Chains A and B, each alone.
Chain A
Amino acid sequence: VQRYIVERLVHGLLVLVGVSIVTFCLVRLTGDPAVALAGPDATAADVARLHAEMGLDEPLWIQYLRYADLLVHGDFGRSQLFRQPALPLVLERLPATLELAAAALVVTLAISLPLGVLSAVRRGGWIDRVGTVFVFAAQSMPVFWSSIMLILVVALWWGLLPASGRGGPQYVVLPALALGFHSAAQQTRLLRSAMLDTLSNDYLRTARAKGLTERVVIVRHAFRNALVPLVTATGLQFALLMGGAVITETVFAWPGMGSLAVQAISNRDLPLVMAATALFAIVILFVNLLVDLSYAAIDPRVRLG
């Protein structure tokens, strides 16, 4: 297993190099960072001055190598917009992003676990129908719209929770609901079909024939086998919740990495974009590794390596 982990980490490094090249090209080819930085009152001369200052006059590949050299030494450079080292700026926002992603994951699982399992077990029953309606509704509502509706109804009309910002636990509820609904829909559908798959297996008939109660059959035999795809999806979902919170963060004025990344991108702030993407990439690689490792724990037939 240790060799497997080392191999995976080496792969991860290669992925990060790829991510850095793609990020660099995307940021540089979509616009001129000096123009963004100079502001709408700048003249061509102002932009030229910034160009020279930021080393943007050199060929693109030299600029990349120069930047890659920094990266190899663990330095993301300084944000052009904030004029501060890029990595600390991003790390500063990490706790808020993790808090929101974790809370949204709780919402996701709290809805999808019972709903997914019960819809499969009572296939065609009322719970299944409610589940289907929920899945349709939650997936077809744009996050932007459902976020604003939550603010209007819960914060403005009912006055139950604060409308935006970050503070005590009451502040995370609305954004977590907005974000969690959407992924709960996907998870419910996935879990339902995984459960239906396992429920039709021969070993379940065997288990029932042994005289086990229906509850034991479902929880110990069916659910455990449906867990493998569920864990994979949950891992990916967590990564998506972290990276996909951009809209939710903006609507709820939540000070996470997503809103920072958007600001960095619209300003073509390469060091800041790079630090944010690298951090997202590392989180996703790490979560994937954990997911793979957990297979072995869930399913004894899986051998890593």
Chain B
Amino acid sequence: LVAACGSPAPTAPPAAPTTAPPAAATTAPPATSATLARPAQSAAGAPKGQVVVAQGGQIISLDATMETGMLTFNPASHVFDTLLTREEMELKPLLASAWKFVDDRTIRLTIRDGVKFHNGDPLSVNDVKFTMDRVSADGTKSRHFTYTKIINETKVIDDHTVDIVLKQPDASFLGRLTLIPILPQKVVQQAGDEAFAERPIGSGPYKFVEWLKGQRVVVEANPDYWRGAPKIKTIVFRTIAEDNTRMAELRTGGVDIAVNMPPALRKDIESSGKVSIVPVRSLRTLFILLNSLKPPFQDVRVRKAVNHAVDVKLICETVIDGACEPVTGPFGPGVFGYNANIQPYDYNPNQAKKLLQEAGFAGAKVEFYGFAGRLLKDRELMEAIAGQLEQVGIKVNLHVMEFQGFFDNFVLKKNMDMDMGLWSNANNTADADYNLTLNVHSKQRGIYWNDPAIDAAIDQARTTTDPEQRRAQYQDLLSRFVDAAPWLFLYDQVDMYGVSKRVQSWKPRPDEWIYLYQAAVTE
């Protein structure tokens, strides 16, 4: 079990200076472009073979400028290219060969020459402007708008240069550009949004072939791709909602990559020798919100007591079958700004009892709300936490709701009936700003938490463009945040992928992005 959630996760703590958000006026070093892996063409020759990917949900559109979420992005990212991309959680150039902050709110992008869409048209700066306007204009229906509303305008400077001007400085914005594909303006305008979302044309390594709704999306290798042709000829993205069915398909060879394999069945699945279960520490962090706006959690000692009362490591190993890695704060080491020096709240029921006594906690019942069927073993997790709290004298009333109802009532409307609430955050931009601004900052959600000093610290870090300075600011902010214990800190979820041994040079990523451009397949 320990092995299952131990070493394989490839998220090394952010070592050495990253090239991530480059400081003002630094272009991406040429080395970065060179390391952008090209598939070895010489040996591989023409693309061959087929890989079937099984996702758990239905694909609702192939236009990833309008939709967010990996169900859409996984197939779409094969048909399109984004301006920047992320490898080993660091920003790398893609359609933009270089980028720099001209001032603290203007990002200057150099757009690559010689990139062609699948219909033969060259990709130009106008297509970039068209796409950025599409996701950020007032009244856009794009679901990226939560993050793109910060764009003031996108300006074409010359044939190779585009400026994105933000309303306020936001160093975390670059990460967003890894999730927005660039569309061909002419094709979209001719076809209309609806038709384009069903039969997309992009500049990516794969061409769209067919989409049978509710069933499969098929894409085929683009031999003229500007980074070189991919090695796999055909990729099929299937929708299989039921875990057991995905597992059966994986074992019969019907699919080659399957998401969310049940960790408890790992041995069973691997017994044939044809597939392996590959765990990866994800960017999804789970935590319990503590309502600090009213007693009993208004008192920091009670919040700390809860953090000492719950044995997260034990819960991970037993209840969650090892598919998790405990965290010391609001997110794990895969996120920019992580502070490795924070001392975790150790499991110490006596310390918890002592803190409760000091706070004069008189054994009041706390109302614990959550939802079931959305996260791995969510109901069991809540029951385990409630059980451990009872042992230090905190009586818990557990309410398990349907997800949307919980989200609306507590995360959005902050109904004050709640004392404790289950919540999680998938940090897809791998930047501290995402989680903190969204959930902690009082101007955003500030879920049961309101601290002007922390707000100010979040604002300051977001507007700092020097990465090292910014990282230091987050580390300081985090140690203050963890000391205030607004949440019961739990763990990063470990995702289990089932992977056929036919699939070569591919490994799952922490951000749930399944990208097969550099992968190969044996027959």
Q: Using Cβ atoms and an 8 Å threshold, which residues of chain B touch A255? A: 212-215, 239
Residue of A nearest to B445 (CB): A43
- B60, B146, B238, B407: the one contacting A82 at CB < 8 Å is B60
Is the CB–CB distance between A259 and B241 below 8 Å? yes
Q: A47 to B407: give the CA distance in the assembly, Å.
A: 12
Is the CB–CB distance between B244 and A151 below 8 Å? yes
Q: A31-B405, A35-B412 are in contact. Are A152 and B213 (CB under 8 A)?
A: no
Q: What sequence of 0s and 1s flags, for each residue 47-81 of chain A, a beta carbon within 8 Å of any chain B beta carbon?
A: 10000010000000000000000000000000001
Q: How far is the CB of B149 from chain A (nearest CB, A)?
A: 9
Determine if A250 is an interface residue (Cβ-Cβ < 8 Å): yes
Q: A83 to B244: give the CA distance in the assembly, Å.
A: 31
Q: A263 to B141: give the CA distance in the assembly, Å.
A: 20
Q: A40 to B69: give the CA distance in the assembly, Å.
A: 11
Determine if B274 is an interface residue (Cβ-Cβ < 8 Å): no
Q: What sequence of 0s and 1s flags, for each residue 182-210 of chain A, a beta carbon within 8 Å of any chain B beta carbon?
A: 00000000000000000000000000000
Is the CB–CB distance between B240 and A164 below 8 Å? yes
- A36, A44, A260: the one contacting B445 at CB < 8 Å is A44
Q: A84 to B60: give the CA distance in the assembly, Å.
A: 10
Q: A35-B412, A162-B254 are in contact. Are A93 and B214 (CB under 8 A)?
A: yes
Q: What sequence of 0s and 1s flags, for each residue 226-258 of chain A, a beta carbon within 8 Å of any chain B beta carbon?
A: 000000000000000000000000111101100
Is the CB–CB distance between A81 and B60 below 8 Å? yes
Q: Using Cβ atoms and an 8 Å threshold, which residues of chain B touch A19? A: none
Q: How far is the CB of A90 from chain B (nearest CB, A)?
A: 11
Determine if B444 is an interface residue (Cβ-Cβ < 8 Å): yes
Q: How far is the CB of A83 from chain B (nearest CB, A)?
A: 7
Is the CB–CB distance between B68 and A39 below 8 Å? yes
Residue of A nearest to B414 (CB): A44
Is the CB–CB distance between A253 and B405 below 8 Å? no
Q: A83 to B213: give the CA distance in the assembly, Å.
A: 14
Is the CB–CB distance between B214 and A159 below 8 Å? no
Is the CB–CB distance between B194 and A83 below 8 Å? yes
Is the CB–CB distance between B248 and A156 below 8 Å? yes
Determine if A89 is an interface residue (Cβ-Cβ < 8 Å): yes
- A42, A251, A263, A266: the one contacting B245 at CB < 8 Å is A251
Is the CB–CB distance between B215 and A42 below 8 Å? no
Q: A53 to B145: give the CA distance in the assembly, Å.
A: 14
- B242, B404, B407: the one contacting A253 at CB < 8 Å is B242
Q: Using Cβ atoms and an 8 Å threshold, which residues of chain B touch A43? A: 146, 412, 438, 444-445
Determine if A46 is an interface residue (Cβ-Cβ < 8 Å): yes
Please list 20 pairs of residues, one from A and one from B, whose beta carbons are closer than 8 Å in the complex, sorted by A's number.
A41-B68, A41-B438, A43-B444, A53-B141, A93-B213, A151-B244, A151-B248, A152-B244, A156-B248, A162-B254, A164-B248, A164-B249, A165-B216, A166-B215, A253-B242, A255-B213, A256-B214, A259-B58, A260-B214, A268-B404
* Interchain residue pairs A-B with the least CB separation, the first 9: A255-B214, A255-B215, A253-B240, A35-B408, A163-B248, A251-B242, A156-B248, A151-B248, A164-B245
